[in-house]
Amino acid sequence: MTVSRSAWLPSEVDTERPSPARIYDYFLGGSHNFAADRQLAEEYMKVLPEMPVISRANRAFLRRAVRELAQAGIDQFLDLGSGLPSGGNVHEVAQSVSPGARVVYVDSDPVTVAYGNAMLAEVPGAEMLHADMRQPHAVLESEPVARQLDLSRPLGVLMVAVLHFVAPEEDPHAVVEGYRAVSVPDSYLVVSHATNEYHPETARQAEGVYSRASAGMNFRNRAQIEGLISGYELLPPGLVDVINWHPEPLADGLSDPLGGDVTRYNLLAAVGRRV
């Protein structure tokens, strides 16, 4: 059941233009979205009907990556384009390994941030920031980052399913570099990114649907994605299909709903270390 507009935000917030964060919430089965988000999500699923499965696989990758970094000693995370900090999100995973871990979630969607702040009100070491991740200085100089993160220590920067919303003319490589430049050695970058390697025409159609959202979608090939993260030393197994980055056995004997067909996920993932 979705909530009413009045329960969310002041009337000046535009709920008629679909938001990637709220569309993603819908793909994950959440209720914090509006009619315009659901309509565009349904149109998108006519092109990529697997999106709910892909979204869950992406969230599972996020959890695996955060757990691995926390076990390696990373206890502070900057989650860019985070969406809602819902169940099984970064602070829960990180704090299950390191109880003192701290997280700043960043999203440009005011609905997501308003609800996220309410969710995190009683959560120690976690805070939500309303900002555009394409502006690294604004993010890094913000009060939540100053309160929660110590940039003189190694940091986990998360760009999970968000760089494909940065258009070529917005220089996504410079965005990545903006965060890498302020991260000390032995910091990490976690990335997943939509790829057009397998089905270029499907990717083109999907981009067309998202052109009506508040941020457009930009599928990229493997070489382009590698170029965006070239300042990092990738951990094994490198840039791989999202279900193949340190996969874990599925619970209860359930099989992969897409049969392990990586061409149906259209999503590449990697974790890199700043050297």
Helices (H) and strands (E) in the chain, counts: 10, 8
176-to-198, 221, 230, 261 alpha-carbon distances in Å: 25, 17, 10, 29
For the chain, the C-alpha Rg in angstroms (whole number) is 18
What does the pLDDT read at residue 172? 97
Return per-residue pLDDT of the chain as tens, 275 residues. 444 444 545 455 677 889 999 999 999 999 888 999 999 999 999 999 999 999 999 999 999 999 999 999 999 999 999 998 877 799 999 999 999 999 999 999 888 898 899 999 999 999 999 999 999 999 999 999 999 999 999 999 999 999 999 999 999 999 999 999 999 999 999 999 999 999 999 999 999 999 999 899 999 999 999 999 999 999 999 999 999 999 987 654 456 889 899 999 999 999 999 99
DSSP calls for 176-245: HHHHHTTSPTT-EEEEEEEB-SS-HHHHHHHHHHHTTSSS----B-HHHHHHHTTTSEEPTT-SEEGGGS
Q: Which two tokens stand for residue 15?
A: 């709920």
The whole-model pTM stands at 0.93
Domain boundaries, the chain: 13-273
Q: Would the CA dihedral through 151, 163, 264, 23 be positive or negative?
A: positive
CATH superfamily of 13-273: Vaccinia Virus protein VP39 (3.40.50.150)
Report the candidate in 21, 22, 42, 40 with the shortest Cα–Cα distance to residue 31. 22
3-state secondary structure of 127: strand
What does the pLDDT read at residue 256? 84
**Can you tell me the distance from the alpha carbon of 188 to that of 49, in angstroms, rounded to the nearest whole number?**
32
What does the pLDDT read at residue 253? 46
β-strands 126-130, 102-107 pairing: parallel
Q: For residue 122, which phi and psi values (nearest 5 degrees)?
A: -110, 15
What does the pLDDT read at residue 248? 85
Do the Cβ atoms of 138 and 130 come closer than 8 Å?
Answer: no
β-strands 267-273, 188-194 pairing: antiparallel
What does the pLDDT read at residue 85? 87
What does the pLDDT read at residue 11? 56
